[in-house]
Structure 1
C-alpha cells in the first residue's frame, strides 16, 4: 500500500470477536456501499487497514457509523503515524447509548446533547429521539474512552438516570470497564468474591434492577441489545 493511499485510509477492528479477511471485506461492502472498490490489508492483533479511493467513501466510513457486524462494534479511526497495532484494543470507540425513562420535559436536542456530553463527545442523536417522536428512551452515539470506567448513572435534577450501552456485552460490573467480566476483574475485592459465593434468593428482574440501581455503581442494566434504527 503506497504512502499516498494513507490519506484516505482507516484502521478498523471488530471489537470482541475475530473476523476473517474475506468475511470482513464482504461485510464492509454491504454496510459502507462504497462507490469504488477499496483495498484491505490485515495486520497484527486483528486490525485491518482499509484504503478508500474517494473522499466521500472515506468520510462515510468515518462518520456514518457506529457500525456493527455480527452484533459487535466495528471500530473505525483514520490512520495516523501514531497508530500502533501492538495495542490490543483501540483507546476510544463510538457507542450507542440509551437513556431509559428520561422525562419528556428533557426531550430537546440541546438538553439531550448536554446530558450526553457528560458521558462522552456526542457524535449523533437518533432522529426519532431528536424530534420527540419516541419517548420511551433517548438514544445517541457517543465517543467513550475504553481505558476508563463507563458512566453507568447520572444525577439529573435530583433524579438518578441510568445509562444503557448497546453491543458492549463484556462489561465488568465490579470496576465498570470494558474487556473483562467481574469474575476475573483485577480490582475485585474479597467482599465481592464472598458475595458472589453466597446463595441468592430468587427475585424478579425488576426487583433485581431496582436494587442494583440504588446499591451498585455498575450492573446488568448497562448491557442491552442493539435496536434497528432508520432515518439516517
Structure 2
C-alpha cells in the first residue's frame, strides 16, 4: 500500500470490518495527498479516503460519494467555455473543478471536469447535446479516471459486463 500511495515511511492500516479501514500516515503531507487525490485504484478496487469529522462514528461516515476526474470527449469547440462545461458536468454530479491546460485555457481534444458522484448509482456513459437547431445531436462520450472494473452495459461499479444480469 505504501508503494501505491507513494508515501514515505510506513502506513498503518487497521481493518474495522464492513470493507472499511483506518489508515495512519507518518507524514501529514502524504496524508493530505491521499485525501486530495482520492479515490485510488487498489488491485481493481476503489479506495476512497475520507477525513474524519469531529467525533462522528466511523459507522456514520458516508462512503457512497467520491470525487473523480471525468474526460468529456467529442465536445464541439464552441462548447469549450466554462459555463457550458459546468452545465455538462452537473449532468453527472456536483462539479468540483475544471482542468485548465498550461496556458490556462479550457481548449483541447477533450474537457476534464472533476465531479462528485454517487458510486452506488449507475454511471452515465455519454451525454447527448444539441449544438444547433438544424444540426443533429452530438454525443459526448465520458471517460472516468481511477475506476475499478465496472459494467459498460448498466454503468454499475460492482461487476463487469460479462457478469451483468441487466437485460
Q: TM-score, normalised by structure 2?
A: 0.70
CA contact (8 A) 2:71 2:112 kept: yes
Query: Could you say what secondary structure the match of 1:132 adopts?
Result: coil
Q: CA deviation at 1:181?
A: 2.1
- Identify which of 57, 72, 90 aligns with 1:117: 90
Give the 3 Å change call, closer, same or farther, for CA 115–82 of structure 1 in structure 2.
Answer: farther
Q: Higher relative contact order at CA 8 Å, sep ≥6: structure 1 or structure 2?
A: 2
- More helix as a share of residues: 1
Query: For this pair of structures, how many residues does the alignment match?
Result: 158
CA contact (8 A) 1:99 1:139 kept: yes
The answer on 1:145 being equivalent to 2:118 is: yes
- More strand as a share of residues: 2
What is the aligned partner in structure 1 of residue 48 from structure 2?
75
Query: Could you say what secondary structure the match of 1:78 adopts?
Result: coil
What is the aligned partner in structure 2 of residue 91 from structure 1?
64
Give the 3 Å change call, closer, same or farther, for CA 61–132 of structure 1 in structure 2.
Answer: same
The answer on 1:181 being equivalent to 2:156 is: no
Q: Give the alignment's Cα RMSD to 1 decimal.
A: 3.5
1:23-69: per-residue Cα shift (whole Å, max 9, x none)?
x24443x25x6xx9875423325532124688876654433445445
Query: Could you say what secondary structure the match of 2:147 adopts?
Result: coil
Give the 3 Å change call, closer, same or farther, for CA 176–38 of structure 1 in structure 2.
Answer: closer
Runs (4+) off by over 6 Å: 53-57
Give the 3 Å change call, closer, same or farther, for CA 143–182 of structure 1 in structure 2.
Answer: same
What is the aligned partner in structure 2 of residue 171 from structure 1?
150
Q: TM-score, normalised by structure 1?
A: 0.54
